[in-house]
Structure 1
């Protein structure tokens, strides 16, 4: 999603000649990506204006709109405050243990939001409604803001703040007038990512009994099997996603945030916290304890309570194997779908390519329930043999996680010199042979990273997997959801622990990559 936040308005620059087969592949992937939105529009058309209006303009939709709006309006600013404060304390001050604490500020990404909610609700059963939804959402998603803000703070030229301080501005004035404006892009991009996650999240809000569009769509789907009511709710949710994206683009603006020169190549002197060091450290530790301590302690408590009896290896091993197969196959497919667009973005950008790429980002930001609802209906009504098959669920994963692979691949292909492709062609290689012998091979690390990021998303995906998985398929998330839905928290604990254990190395990798990109 950072690609969406970073270059939505960037004008394309042509650097090479497009290969016809790459253009055709990019168009085909984009047409597949457009299926969810086209499906929603087609269902609204076939339902008719009067029926659609009756389903949309009703008190229940207004209630869901208020709930979802309040959730986004309250949770996103709180996450911005928490993330900015944590990033500044761990990157710009002499806070004790700040290097270790910076990793702990990223680690909550390893805990799926529905596992976080499971931990809180099993610890405090009365913690429900909007307050619980906002609190757990902030604790689950603030790292999406922390990462870009911390990276931006590392790259700031210390001469700017030093000059402002020399002119007589206080430290708070320097932060407000010099540092904070330069965090605008990072804050807007991270806020967009969090807002889209809030719109698409399902399990978290079911646990705390807070109704949103996503929970209502799932309820409607289960009662009417992709009936018009579920589709109309999905159409409102799609509009909400597009509104959030447009608002982020408007808030980001088109101001310039880069310099022609390289600036000062040195780390800024950490701000001295003095007597406030201990209170600041306590605040950081409190956030970490709430976002990591609560789920870890809760999962550990249920594991201890269940003992060896809850480790049903005859269920856990096949479930882990099926999850790994889906994650690997989905990750590879997603990366393969991203190759044509990533190559065109670097080698032959155009207005068509620019528009298609943004379409992929928009569709990738839609909730999994909307993507699954579209594919279920298309499979049932048009291609019945594909209903509840591996092909359908893998396609859903590809559409949902395409931006993750696209961002990684685009960066890697940009680092592969185009002259190598040209030299291979001059030596008699065909266009496809030259491409795969040079650029694709050099972009292999980025492809691996994109595959890993998509696979991580698939491991923790719930709603689309529940709707599309073939009969007999069980993933870690599905097993966890099944046991927790039966209030059997002890039996759900092993699956929660395994999902967290799988995700932790990826969060560490993200943290290392963030520091590496900042030149550390």
Structure 2
């Protein structure tokens, strides 16, 4: 059930507000770069660059791909979460792990797997298939967590009043899942708007691929800046729509609810179709790309493996991912906290500012940071800190969404009781707040780790000279049609991402019904 949001005045948390403002300013740096560059072109020049048939074609491609992916991801994510959490489906724990597994397969590896098996897949349908299979877990995970937090007594009461299973879902469960569904859908939409590798491999033109092509041709040309501005506007529309649909109410329960687990719903004759549907989803999202990798390893004509280079690249990727996960999650804490504990226009603005960064294509973020480093901090040009900043800007939404969800389900009464007993603010943070938020913090860090291990575009442009990650090594080899040489890097990416995916699945399952 919904409950009115309880606000904490911003003046009571000046340090948290200052940190959130600093994070928002960093996230908005690429946007500032786009605006300054667009201002240099002028209104007349921008109108000429944007008002073209090619831009209309890109707009149609991008909007229908993002809309279709969000819709399909919500249907798949909510449906799979309902089967796993609310029914007596055989092997529910196994299915849960398998449904999170697609997060371990990079989207560009997924795209290359499908295009190598079906060369004619370079269509809207092919792009929709690949990005949906790559991103639907972003809806599935928060919905699973939300299902766990629902009081089963509400559903049992509704059934006792004669409501059908569908009516219970539509009238009782779905309204309480709104925050999770919208948050997951927002993540999916933002990632589709910024996706580059998979769409470039599928030869499906969107604003991101067009901007990449423009920058390759003119580096800092006005055409790419204009396209980036349109893409940012699309993100703003998506963010405003999510805010409007979510509303201003919190969804945390005021009590712990019943201690017992709800009774799983027996599917009866629908068990076999449900198992078949989940099996088909797992095969398409996981087994197809893994089978393609196996084919590259076995049949690739360029399968000579440089073990030393692979080990060095793996170590570099692992180190960058771990540091970036810690930094990005720490940056998300003040924003996620204020978004719930100090609801209002300022807190909402700070939260939405972190999302804008990820809506800007990675190549624009990279070029913005290069420009800033050269003009303001030349000693940081082509260094690891600049690359880490790019990762943080790109993947802040993953950490903010999970931290916010953890704060939503963490009653503030615990902190107030500790304060009334004389506990200082640092002590309350260490003994009360952080333990309550630990699952959300861990989930956010795992999501960022997964993203960094498979990040491609920003790393290509910002990595220090001589630094190679698994994603860039795979991209270089596959672009040169050396499929066998590319396969080991892809396999290691999947293996490195798998533990984080398992962590996500385990944390999401805690407290689930047996």
- CA 1:299/1:355 → structure 2, altered by over 3 Å: closer, same or farther? same
TM-score (ref. length: structure 1): 0.86
Question: Does the 8 Å CA contact 2:73/2:139 hold for their aligned counterparts?
Answer: yes
Pick one of 2, 8, 13 that aligns with 1:13: 8
- Measured after TM superposition, the shift of residue 302 of structure 1 is 1.5
Match of 2:286 among 285, 289, 292: 292
Counterpart pick for 2:362 among 363, 368, 372: 368
Post-superposition Cα deviations, 1:467-488, rounded to whole Å, max 9, x if no partner, equal 2122222110001111111222
Choose which of 311, 318, 332 in structure 2 pairs with 1:317. 311
Corresponding residue to 2:499 among 502, 505, 516: 505
1:229 paired to 2:226 = no
CA-CA distance at 1:64 after TM superposition? 0.5
Aligned ranges 1:30-45 → 2 under 5 Å: 30-45=24-39
* Structure 1 residues 12 and 366: alpha-carbon distance in aligned structure 2, compared to 1, 3 A threshold: farther
Residue 173, structure 1, aligned to residue 173, structure 2: no
Structure 2 unaligned segments of length 5 or more: list them.
none
For 1:88, the equivalent position in structure 2 comes to 82
Q: CA deviation at 1:408?
A: 6.2
SS, match of residue 126 in structure 1: helix
Q: How many residues align?
A: 507
Cα pair distance change 1:181/1:39, threshold 3 Å: same
**Cα deviation code 1:82-115 (max 9, x no counterpart):** 2222222222222222221121111111111111
- Unaligned runs of 5+ residues in structure 1 are 1-5, 426-430
Distance 1:55 1:182 in 2: 44
Match of 1:3 in 2: none
Q: What are the within-5 Å matches in structure 2 for residues 59-98 of structure 1?
A: 59-98=53-92
How far has the Cα of 1:505 moved from its partner?
0.9
Partner in structure 2 of residue 212 of structure 1: 206
1:296-342: per-residue Cα shift (whole Å, max 9, x none)?
11111211224994321132122112222322333343345446656
- Assess if the C-alpha contact under 8 Å between 2:8 and 2:341 holds in 1: no
Is 1:185 the counterpart of 2:189? The answer is: no
CA shift, 1:277, in A, is 1.5
Quote the residue 2:466 is aligned against.
472
Equivalent of residue 248 in structure 1, options 242, 246, 265: 242
2:232 match: secondary structure: helix
Q: How many angstroms apart in 2 are the aligned matches of 1:339 and 1:160? A: 32
Q: Please say if residues 113 and 204 of structure 1, whose CA atoms lie closer than 8 Å, have aligned partners that are also in contact.
A: yes
Q: Which segment drifts farther, 466-475 or 267-276?
A: 267-276
Shift of 1:132: 0.4
Cα distance in 1 between the residues matched to 2:473 and 2:365: 22
1:104-152 deviation line (CA, Å, top 9, x unaligned): 1111111111111111111112221101000111111111111122222
Query: What is the aligned partner in structure 1 of residue 196 from structure 2?
Result: 202
* Contact 2:5–2:343 under 8 Å retained in 1: no
- Checking the alignment, whether the CA contact within 8 Å between 1:110 and 1:503 is kept in structure 2 is yes
Q: Distance in 2 between matches of 1:453 and 1:350?
A: 27
Determine whether 1:456 maps to 2:453: no
TM-score w.r.t. the length of structure 2 is: 0.87
Indicate conservation of the 8 Å contact 2:148/2:511, yes or no: no
Aligned to 2:263: 269
